[in-house]
């Protein structure tokens, strides 16, 4: 299946992917309104790691044998059998953080939703053909590919 | 060829993963799952949150309600297997019904250890490992005027039960035989910090002693007497000193048991065609390279996956289980991965500790390789350490960066990063 891969030789840590991700997962769908007005402020599901001179942006890889799904204690994380995507049902999440512990990529984070801490991660932008982070990246440092 | 018959005993984490992975390979075979409990697979590890009402039924079910139908699984729920007959390729249920198999998986989990304590027979005494346990305890507590409970055992199950009871307004005392709580998961320093946090939130914790007898007046629990001579008043006692592999039904089957059911790296027992997975199985420990029972969810599910795949004819090898746990009490989280307890310098171990305000982190290295991580109140990207431990990577050159808050893939070797990040996960 297609997932997002970083290409660290091209990443300049401009953080536009993080902004695009926040905006995509906001109500306003506008970066400034999202950033200034939305409470709680949406959190980016990709994270730019920057250690001069290198940088890379990393988010959920939707693993074939996903360790978050294996660690989840109540089925909050499941594989969508049709699309292959690893889905996270925040209504169900208990905030035990077993998934954060298990994820080998370190890409599941904590967010507050309905005043409750729950897990959060990349959903591959189900309403788009190409995820927002990939679409916005000026350097093709994020690519949406099927590498088997 | 006739359709293969798969039978799975036990309907929890390992069972569900076995079902999913058998179906991936074999669309035609007949899968039957048998469980002594009447429920669809549920979140065994969340029963304390169910008891105190934080979550309801919808958050308890592990898979959607069409799961069995969609995977064409025949369920025999609320039925106990009493005997396994490998020569006849069948299991016998308590009703007398016999079920034949070509491939069998035993995933009967653990059962509470219940040592003989004087006065423990009768009402007011509970264990806490199943959904029904949580319901029964909840209903009992609601009937007490001023409920007071003693929880015997300060392990994960005991403390989670204690937190649940506290949320219900119960006056709770935990009695732990060791010098501190969570001895199997944490080092002393971290455990004492967790303990203090629990006490700050109203739990009473007594360590270094245990319950000698349950005091009853006219059959009713009125208190417990401790080894140190002290007496505690209570109307409720929860016994949670630990669980052991539930191997009772294997008697006379010829399937080899040590502490748990012994399996090889395909999760197969000494009897061909019979597999075991989860809290009942004794399989390779990734770090110590010897067999052990490690009763945690990620290991149960992985073993279920490996067993299921191999039962359906695929070849999958178990990479060994890495002990790990994440838990939170009263909103504060702690995670422990690998070995965080044995740090003897003479054995090549080294400990790196970082304390900063509320955050406490510790790394354990053996001969330069990362073998354990402990983190309190800091969860961000903690799973990356799981990869580093799995890779048996030498980290002696990056000791100064290892516990910093922005530790990440760019601190690790380029080859490792390429291997991890440019290939499908």
Which residues of A are less than 8 Å from B424 in CB distance? 3, 61, 63-64, 147-148
Whether B17 and A70 lie within 8 Å, measured CB to CB: yes
CA dist list (Å): B397 to B365, B370, B394, B410: 12, 12, 8, 14
Report how far residue B334's alpha carbon sits from residue A56's, in angstroms, rounded to the nearest whole number: 28
Report how far residue B335's alpha carbon sits from residue B205's, in angstroms, rounded to the nearest whole number: 21
State pLDDT tens for residues B380-401. 999 999 999 999 999 999 999 9
Q: What is the DSSP letter of B367?
A: T
Instruction: Please name the residue of chain B whose CA is at the shortest distance from the CA of residue A93.
Output: B59
Residues 6+ apart with CB under 8 A from B410: A8, A49, A50, A51, A54, A55, A56, B417
Which residues of B are less than 8 Å from A74 in CB distance? 43, 45-46, 59-62
State pLDDT tens for residues B68-108. 999 999 999 999 999 999 999 999 999 999 999 999 999 99
Whether A8 and B383 lie within 8 Å, measured CB to CB: no
Which residues of B are less than 8 Å from A107 in CB distance? 381
Residue B361 β-bridge partners:
B354, B375
Residue B1: predicted pLDDT:
63
The low-confidence residues of chain B, meaning pLDDT below 50, are none
ipTM above 0.85, yes or no: yes
Q: Which of residues 59-88 of A touch B (CB under 8 A)?
A: 61-67, 69-75, 78
Residue B279: predicted pLDDT:
98
Average pLDDT value for residue range A62-85: 96
Residue B52: predicted pLDDT:
95
Whether A95 and B297 lie within 8 Å, measured CB to CB: no
Report how far residue B153's alpha carbon sits from residue B178's, in angstroms, rounded to the nearest whole number: 9
Report how far residue B356's alpha carbon sits from residue B341's, in angstroms, rounded to the nearest whole number: 21
For residue B369, with 0-12 CB atoms within 10 Å meaning exposed, 13-18 middle and 19 or more buried, which class applies?
middle
Residue B2: predicted pLDDT:
82
pTM beyond cutoff 0.80? yes
Tokens of B389: 């431990």
Residue B281: predicted pLDDT:
98
State pLDDT tens for residues B171-182. 999 999 999 999
Q: How confident is the model at residue A40 (pLDDT cuts 50, 70, 90)?
A: confident
């Amino acid at each position: 299946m297609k997932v997002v891969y970083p290409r660290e030789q091209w990443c300049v840590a401009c953080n536009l992917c993080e902004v695009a991700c926040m905006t995509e997962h906001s109500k306003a769908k506008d970066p400034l309104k999202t950033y200034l007005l939305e409470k709680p402020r949406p959190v980016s599901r990709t994270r730019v790691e920057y250690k001069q001179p290198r940088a890379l942006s990393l988010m959920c890889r939707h693993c074939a044998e996903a360790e978050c799904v294996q660690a989840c204690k109540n089925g909050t994380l499941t594989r969508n059998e049709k699309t292959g995507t690893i889905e996270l049902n925040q209504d169900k999440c208990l905030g035990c953080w077993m998934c954060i512990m298990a994820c080998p990529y370190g890409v599941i984070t904590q967010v507050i939703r309905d005043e409750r801490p729950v897990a959060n991660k990349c959903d591959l932008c189900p309403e788009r053909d190409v995820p927002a982070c990939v679409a916005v990246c000026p350097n093709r440092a994020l690519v949406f590919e099927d590498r088997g | 060829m006739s359709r293969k018959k798969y039978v799975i005993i036990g309907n929890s984490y390992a069972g569900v993963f076995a079902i999913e992975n058998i179906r991936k390979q074999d669309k035609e075979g007949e899968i039957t799952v048998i469980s002594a409990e009447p429920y669809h697979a549920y979140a065994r590890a969340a029963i304390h949150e169910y008891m105190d009402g934080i979550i309801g039924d919808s958050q308890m079910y592990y898979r959607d309600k069409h799961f069995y139908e969609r995977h064409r699984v025949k369920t025999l729920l609320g039925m106990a297997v009493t005997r396994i007959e490998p020569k006849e390729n069948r299991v016998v249920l308590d009703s007398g019904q016999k079920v034949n198999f070509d491939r069998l998986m035993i995933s009967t989990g653990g059962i509470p250890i219940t040592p003989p304590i004087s006065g423990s027979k009768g009402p007011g005494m509970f264990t806490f490992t199943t959904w029904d346990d949580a319901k029964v305890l909840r209903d009992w507590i609601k009937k007490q005027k001023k409920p007071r409970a003693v929880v015997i055992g300060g392990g994960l199950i005991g403390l989670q039960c204690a937190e649940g009871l506290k949320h219900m307004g119960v006056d709770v005392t935990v009695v732990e035989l060791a010098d501190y709580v969570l001895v199997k998961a944490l080092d002393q320093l971290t455990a004492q910090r967790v303990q203090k946090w629990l006490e700050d939130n109203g739990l009473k914790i007594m360590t270094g002693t245990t319950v000698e007898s349950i005091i009853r007046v006219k059959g009713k629990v009125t208190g417990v007497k401790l080894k140190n001579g002290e007496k505690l008043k209570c109307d409720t006692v929860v016994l949670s000193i630990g669980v052991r592999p539930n191997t009772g039904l294997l008697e006379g089957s010829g399937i080899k048991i040590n502490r748990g059911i012994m399996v090889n790296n395909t999760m197969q027992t000494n009897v061909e065609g019979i597999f075991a997975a989860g809290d009942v199985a004794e399989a390779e420990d990734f770090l110590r390279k010897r067999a052990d029972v490690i009763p945690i969810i990620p290991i149960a599910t992985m073993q279920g996956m490996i067993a299921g795949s191999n039962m359906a004819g695929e070849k999958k090898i178990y990479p060994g289980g890495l002990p790990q746990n994440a838990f939170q009490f009263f909103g504060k989280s702690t995670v422990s991965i690998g070995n965080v307890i044995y740090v003897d310098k003479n054995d090549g171990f080294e400990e790196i500790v970082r304390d900063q305000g509320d955050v406490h982190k510790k790394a354990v290295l053996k001969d330069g390789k990362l073998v354990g991580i402990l983190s309190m109140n800091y969860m961000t990207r903690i799973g990356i350490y799981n990869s580093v431990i799995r890779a048996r990577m030498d980290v002696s050159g990056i000791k100064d960066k290892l516990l910093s808050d922005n530790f990440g893939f760019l601190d690790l070797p380029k080859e490792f990063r390429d291997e991890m990040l440019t290939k499908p996960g």
